[in-house]
Structure 1
Amino acid sequence: MSFSDAIRRIRDGGEDSNPPADPPDVAVGGEPATEPPLSVTEVCRRVNKALLLIEGGPEIRVEGEIGSCSLPGHWYFTLKDEEGSQLSCAFFSPRYRADSETPTPQVGMKVVAHGRPELYAKGGRLSFIASRLREAGLGDLHQRFERLKADLRDRGWFEPTLRLELPDFARRIMVITSGDGAARRDVEETARRLWPGLELLLIPVPVQGPAATPKIARAVRLARASAAAMRVDAIILTRGGGSLEDLWCFNEEAVAAAIFESRAEAVAAHLAGGPPPVPLVAAIGHESDSSIAEFVADHRASTPTQAAMVLVPDAAEQGDYLNSRQERLRLLAQRGVERARGRIEVAARHEILRRPARMLDPHRRRLDDAGNGLIASMVRAMEVRRAHLAGLESRLGAVAPARSVAEASHRIEVAGGRLARGIEALIKRRITRIDHLAGQLRIVGPDSVLSRGYALVLDEAGKPIRDAGAMAVEDRIRATFARGSVVARVETVDPGEKVESNP
């Protein structure tokens, strides 16, 4: 049963949709009834009693897509269908905790709810009290969203390595959003508050409805293409919150393609010598919302305000930072000057400044001694190396490598000849053995036996006959000789004695 059917049943008063001939509160003659009016509680009680008659039983099944949900504690959510009807539902915690197969409701999930409608008397609201919940699949928009998301991920459009880095200090930002939307005001107020001298350029586009998709895609391509010429440091694509249907234009492949392809074109132009590409920040909806455009963009911000905050530096913080650095530099310079002044005063009293020649004499003597020692060490090292080289030369002459190589070559030739002769003898022995075995096989083979006057006797099934007792009179047999065969019929059977074969 759909929501429209359920609501129609409630409106018509249960199974019987025809109103009674005489309403209970109106007399037959058309005058008001004399019965006292009902209280609100009694009316709610009677409505609830009438609701129990839907589908002829206490519970009905309703299938629809979850439009909104609140999960802490008891679950409260709405179900909607393709006709636009909505039904408020409640699923109390003792019920769903007792059922381990109950799925957690999510926006866009398609479910089948078991329960009954009930009128909440104190709030005057009609709700569907669920006793059981089962998943029936995602809604159409969510299915399209997940399919496109998986497709673009397989194409590599979400790769982090493709994303452009954000500028440290953006001085001019281009904003693509609705000209009169709250997102524009949030970005402008945040940017002006953080950095009053920042310049914002607006490209107004519709941000909702089927007609918005091509205009958003065209604006993205235009912004990327003209950003360098207009000295734009970053681009913001944004809009405020809304339902999945409201945000759907940012989930279309045309918008994702505009973001991805315009970035690729800008990067290619930069590699060819053009200006650096400009990053795009996407901030669609609230923090809990996600869109295909945000996955493809260079950076995702949870809200329009957050998009401005990630691009615009805080002037107050920057001022405090500069002041602190200025004070630190002043203190460092002051300390450096004081330390330098102290060192100069100490150096002025040092012996080397008062008698410089006297201080250099010991160093000259050490330098002369070191030079003489270096020359002597080099002479000794050369003599040692010369002696070592002579020893190596004498040892090399004693080893005589040419003679050792000749002897090894001779041994290899002798061993090769012996190996060839051994292999040839082995092959001859194997050939002789094979000829001998072939002769023995011809002697004991069936053809040899038949040539000596024996015959091979087969029964009608073609099996050899070894025992005459297995045959009966009138059985047909086939006898095969060394040349030809005959078919005969058994006239008599003599079992005889068993002939023992030699082992």
Structure 2
Amino acid sequence: MLTPQNPANNRTVLSVAELNRQAKRLLESEFPNVWIEGELSNFSQPSSGHWYFSLKDASAQVRCAMFRGSNLRLRFQPQAGQKVVIRAKLSLYEARGDYQLIAEYMEPAGAGDLARAFEELKAKLSLEGLFDPAIKQALPEHPKHIAVITSPTGAAIRDILTVLKRRHAGIRVTILPVAVQGNEAAGQIAKAIATANHLAASEQASFDVILLGRGGGSQEDLWAFNEEIVARAIAASELPLVSAVGHETDFTIADFCADLRAATPSAAAELLSPDLSEQIATLAGYQQWLISFMQQRLKQQQQQLGWLSSRLRHPGSRLAEQQQRLDELDIRLQQAWQKNRNHNSHRADLLRIRLQACQPLSLINGLRQHSLNLLKQLKQLHAQQLQRQQQQLKSTMQRLHTVSPLATLERGYSILSDQRGQVINKIEQVQAGQQLEAKLSNGRLSCVVADVGK
């Protein structure tokens, strides 16, 4: 609020609150959105859920606040001494006049570079087909030996062993210890995957599947599982491989290359281990069903045995019955034989009578006479046909002679032709002195044209 103290000097005097308010408005309007990198210090997290800390570098520091609504969206837990990048607006805490930053987003320093590297490698390997579902291997339904590649001292291995012991203590577990973060981690993980495959292929170990995992952490902590050497080792694995890296919201390149991704190491152990108690309950159910089935089957067999026993007769009576049956069949056979003999005898008599009625000699004589008649008819038809054809030929020859040029020649005409044999029928075809030939009815004449005129 403006309070004129000395009208003569025309001064404007501000209250402390007004000064801080105007400074706050000025800072927030001039610096609404800035990105700042620095090291966390004096980090505190009261029960309200807000975070208060300082961001410093080698020569300066600034106080910061990050309210609960913003920090709940972060995927990592900041720690004092950690280098981070924040997006914030510049402000001022009016009550104390403290200059401060209100952080809206925070990420570990270098996280942007890591994210770009992650996406570039993911796109490259996807283009090569390392994530193709068609190459994924099926997991064994009842694994007997699991190779676990993880840190031997982390919480992940304790969770895995606890779950496996609870669900199926009979599954054998071999731990291939590796570093799960740091510069050496990626190489050790890739080597462990290759070692597990070599031991299984050479039958030095009976591994059914590989479980690769570690607990949660920041993107930098999980970066070993985003290295290309690890991705290619997973893709080259002949053994099925389950990836269980970090928490449910964490995704790594290893997850995309693996045959199956589990949300956590514990979840991976659940997936790979059949529940022994469920199997025991299932077997108990099968056992009860088998007992009931066998009891019912035994009862049926006992009933059938009783029925067969009631039908069982003494062999002597059965033999006498069969003997009687045999005598009956013998009598029926004799009767049938005699009946058949009589029938055949009667049939033979009939055939003999029919044979006598059809003597072959009379049949042959009849056929011979028929053949002679046919031959006579054939000769008559042939003579008639020949006579008709002769008459037809004679008539045709007469008609042909009538139109023949020879008949014309006999009436005093001739046919002229040149030396090439071409018939002369026009005066334009000859010239004086040309030698021609004239064909007469009984010979030929050679002629020379003395004169040509019309």
Q: Tell me the residue number matched to 1:294.
A: 255
Q: For the residues of structure 2 that align with 1:171 and 1:312, how far apart are their CA atoms?
A: 9
Q: Secondary structure at the match of 2:280?
A: helix
Return the match for 1:237 from 190, 203, 212: 212
Q: Secondary structure at the match of 1:139?
A: helix
Is residue 120–residue 126 contact of structure 1 (8 Å, CA) maintained in 2?
Answer: no
Is residue 44–residue 119 contact of structure 1 (8 Å, CA) maintained in 2?
Answer: no
Distance 1:233 1:116, change over 3 A: same
Return the match for 2:187 from 214, 218, 226: 214
- Normalised by the size of structure 2, how large is the TM-score? 0.51
Q: Tell me the residue number matched to 1:423.
A: none
Distance 1:240 1:45, change over 3 A: farther
Return the match for 1:318 from 249, 254, 279: 279
Return the match for 2:169 from 173, 193, 196: 196
Equivalenced residues, count: 276
Q: For the residues of structure 2 that align with 1:44 and 1:199, how far apart are their CA atoms?
A: 71
Distance 1:91 1:259, change over 3 A: same
- Normalised by the size of structure 1, how large is the TM-score? 0.46
The answer to whether residue 211 in structure 2 is matched with residue 252 in structure 1 is no
Return the match for 1:60 from 32, 38, 53: 32
Equivalent positions of 1:23-42 (< 5 A) are none
Q: For the residues of structure 1 that align with 2:187 and 2:265, how far apart are their CA atoms?
A: 22
Q: For the residues of structure 1 that align with 2:197 and 2:246, how far apart are their CA atoms?
A: 22
Distance 1:76 1:155, change over 3 A: farther
Q: Tell me the residue number matched to 2:6.
A: none
Report the Cα offset of residue 243 of structure 1.
Answer: 1.2
Equivalent positions of 1:97-136 (< 5 A) are 115-117=89-91, 119=93, 128=102
Return the match for 1:225 from 180, 184, 198: 198
Distance 1:338 1:148, change over 3 A: same
Q: Tell me the residue number matched to 1:337.
A: 298
Is residue 52–residue 59 contact of structure 1 (8 Å, CA) maintained in 2?
Answer: no
Deviations 1:375-407 (A, max 9, x none): xxxxxxxxxxxxxxxxxxxxxxxxxxxxxxxxx
In structure 2, the gaps of 5 or more residues are: 1-14, 38-48, 77-84, 106-110, 330-454
Distance 1:341 1:119, change over 3 A: farther
Report the Cα offset of residue 158 of structure 1.
Answer: 0.9
Distance 1:112 1:244, change over 3 A: closer
Identity of aligned residues (%): 35
Q: Tell me the residue number matched to 1:367.
A: none
Q: For the residues of structure 2 that align with 1:107 and 1:231, how far apart are their CA atoms?
A: 39
Is residue 213–residue 254 contact of structure 1 (8 Å, CA) maintained in 2?
Answer: yes
Letter aligned with residue 335 of structure 1? Q
Is residue 61–residue 112 contact of structure 1 (8 Å, CA) maintained in 2?
Answer: no
The answer to whether residue 185 in structure 2 is matched with residue 185 in structure 1 is no
Q: For the residues of structure 2 that align with 1:255 and 1:43, how far apart are their CA atoms?
A: 61
Q: For the residues of structure 2 that align with 1:183 and 1:92, how far apart are their CA atoms?
A: 31
Report the Cα offset of residue 161 of structure 1.
Answer: 2.1
Q: Tell me the residue number matched to 2:245.
A: 284
Report the Cα offset of residue 224 of structure 1.
Answer: 1.6
Deviations 1:40-64 (A, max 9, x none): xx99999777554537x36521237
Is residue 241–residue 284 contact of structure 1 (8 Å, CA) maintained in 2?
Answer: yes
Q: For the residues of structure 1 that align with 2:262 and 2:218, how far apart are their CA atoms?
A: 18
In structure 1, the gaps of 5 or more residues are: 1-41, 66-74, 94-104, 133-137, 267-277, 365-503
Is residue 86–residue 103 contact of structure 2 (8 Å, CA) maintained in 1?
Answer: no
The answer to whether residue 126 in structure 2 is matched with residue 153 in structure 1 is yes
Q: For the residues of structure 1 that align with 2:133 and 2:195, how far apart are their CA atoms?
A: 24
Report the Cα offset of residue 284 of structure 1.
Answer: 0.4
Q: For the residues of structure 2 that align with 1:299 and 1:184, how far apart are their CA atoms?
A: 18
Deviations 1:108-146 (A, max 9, x none): 9xx99674446598xx9966276x9xxxxx922222212
Q: For the residues of structure 2 that align with 1:255 and 1:88, how far apart are their CA atoms?
A: 39
Q: Tell me the residue number matched to 1:171.
A: 144
Report the Cα offset of residue 341 of structure 1.
Answer: 2.1
Q: For the residues of structure 2 that align with 1:226 and 1:310, how far apart are their CA atoms?
A: 23
Q: Secondary structure at the match of 1:281?
A: strand
Q: For the residues of structure 1 that align with 2:154 and 2:16, how far apart are their CA atoms?
A: 45
Is residue 52–residue 116 contact of structure 1 (8 Å, CA) maintained in 2?
Answer: no
Deviations 1:215-235 (A, max 9, x none): 111111111211342111211
Q: Secondary structure at the match of 1:60?
A: coil
Report the Cα offset of residue 211 of structure 1.
Answer: 2.3
Distance 1:323 1:203, change over 3 A: same
Q: For the residues of structure 1 that align with 2:56 and 2:112, how far apart are their CA atoms?
A: 10
Report the Cα offset of residue 77 of structure 1.
Answer: 11
Distance 1:343 1:44, change over 3 A: farther
Letter aligned with residue 168 of structure 1? E
Deviations 1:290-344 (A, max 9, x none): 1111111111111011111111222211111111111111111111111232233
Q: For the residues of structure 2 that align with 1:208 and 1:316, how far apart are their CA atoms?
A: 36
Q: For the residues of structure 2 that align with 1:176 and 1:125, how far apart are their CA atoms?
A: 50
